[in-house]
Chains A and B, each alone.
Chain A
């Protein structure tokens, strides 16, 4: 494996930094998608700070790896990573969703494209199709890089996800990796109570995908999954089993804010 304990430890720190950045961007007494962001923080850290080839100083290099955030409501987590990686100043995070800010409630190409956002998402279910188009086009050009798409588990109820899953299989896109953040939560409650999706790995396997199941909060496992996906000829899929995060779109009190900032490393 191309990583060791030290790498995993460094990425765990990055994941906590991202969580802290998320808290900072949400601020006090204003709603933000904190739960879904926290559940994907480890994999986001592993992608942006180890696995993905990208360069904030060469934003548009043709063979960069792409990240499409199909669960666009956790834009704040992607912004947290982009700021941490140096695409824009950290101070901008606190202005997220303000009228003057380029950081919109969901990833926006026109306003944030130059700062690392690769696709406009927010209407759930469309990101994997966009990823299919990217992966197909890059393969046409003989550009060898990966396209990662992060989906929510509740999002899998959107039929278009399965249209895209079929298409990826039909087209044999081995440069496409879908990551399902299985945090068992959707806006109105537990996924299994609201709209039980049944066996997620079995469904993807039936659609012709290679499936790797990982604990999304175990960095060694996350890295094993991401590098494992590289080895497949054919599509890769990671299912990040995350701990239930508790809140979909919630606001923090001042006490919760301070506590969170302290937990994730303190510089307020």
Chain B
């Protein structure tokens, strides 16, 4: 299976968007060669804005650009895009429903070497707490491309979470991407695993491994917000229990969002996620996921716990 990268397909999507829409502009704060804003810059140098190492300024500049009709994509690492510029997002963008796309790159633990300062365990929680913002978390490079296109077409602020790791695709290159629509990746009738981002692939592995023991359904939650209870229940279908899986803190992330949406439903739940701790450095991504229990094995255990 060939490996690709969400950052690269994101960059390609920016170029494709830029070709059809002159109003697409891309901003970077000295991380363009990592966020792949550089790909757009090489193609459309006049529509790429380097703001220097100043994420707060970049985010408000994005608001100004949107207010004169541009469709700005504001790039940084997820931890800075959502954290350092939180007040700018809240005040200049979310309150006014301003059409800025905030792209959190190197999200989760995917910047494995840089440690806690550069790894985002809370970006989903803080972004989805803001009214008016749509939160997208694609599961693979193909879907990152589709999510970028969908973000551009959506009118209003979007937070797009991008992983930096080379990985195989689990979705088809032309799979439709509808904001807010959970996608059933594998049918099953006992336990539904609702996963987002990189964890979708691990959920599929867990389902396969449990084949014959438990019938596991896998649902790709590429949209964290908006999260519609009816669509969620429809995706879960007849399953009798739910596991959520995310590369994010269990506080405020996908698990919380699902629990909020399913409130007063009788479905028992388990969360697979980071247990209220910061990340840390490691020499590779797999080692780090293992350390924090973000594995197909953890998902299997959670499924079996609910099945017992």
Contact = CB atoms under 8 A, between A and B. Distances in A.
Give chain A's interface secondary structure class. Answer: helix
Contacts of A137: 25, 64-65, 67-70
Given A110-B97, A119-B92, A130 B64 contact: yes
A228 interface: no
Interface string A150-187: 00000000001001101100110000000000000000
A108 B95 CA distance: 8
Nearest to A138: B68
Contact of B52 (A129, A140, A166): A166
A67 to B, nearest CB: 12
A122 interface: yes
B70 A164 contact: no
A134 interface: yes
Given A129-B61, A133-B61, A140-B46, A120 B56 contact: no
A140 B57 contact: no
Interface in B39-93: 46-47, 49, 51-52, 54, 56-57, 59-70, 72, 87-88, 90-92
A260 to B, nearest CB: 31
A187 to B, nearest CB: 18
B47 to A, nearest CB: 7
A134 B64 contact: yes
A126 B97 CA distance: 16
Given A140-B70, A167-B54, A167-B57, A133 B65 contact: yes
Contacts of B176: none
A252 to B, nearest CB: 29
A138 B66 CA distance: 11
A130 B52 contact: no
B303 interface: no
Interface string B16-33: 000000000100000000
B126 to A, nearest CB: 16
Given A126-B88, A129-B57, A140 B25 contact: yes
What interface size band does chain A fall in?
20 to 34
Contacts of A138: 68
Contacts of A122: 91
A109 B68 contact: no
A110 B95 contact: yes
A21 interface: no
A135 B91 CA distance: 19
Contacts, number: 112
Interface residues of B, number: 31
A134 B61 CA distance: 7
B60 A126 contact: yes
A141 B51 CA distance: 19
B268 interface: no
A129 B64 contact: yes
B98 interface: yes
A108 B67 CA distance: 13
Nearest to A165: B57
B96 interface: yes
B96 A120 contact: yes
Nearest to B53: A163
B41 to A, nearest CB: 15
A42 B68 CA distance: 27
A239 to B, nearest CB: 22
B59 to A, nearest CB: 8
Contact of B51 (A68, A118, A143, A167): A167
B97 A133 contact: no
25 contacts: A62-B69, A66-B68, A68-B64, A108-B96, A109-B96, A126-B92, A129-B57, A130-B64, A130-B92, A132-B60, A133-B60, A133-B62, A134-B65, A134-B68, A135-B64, A136-B61, A136-B64, A137-B68, A140-B70, A141-B68, A160-B56, A160-B57, A160-B60, A163-B54, A167-B61
Interface of A: 62, 66, 68, 108-110, 113, 118-123, 126, 129-138, 140-141, 143, 160, 163-164, 166-167, 170-171
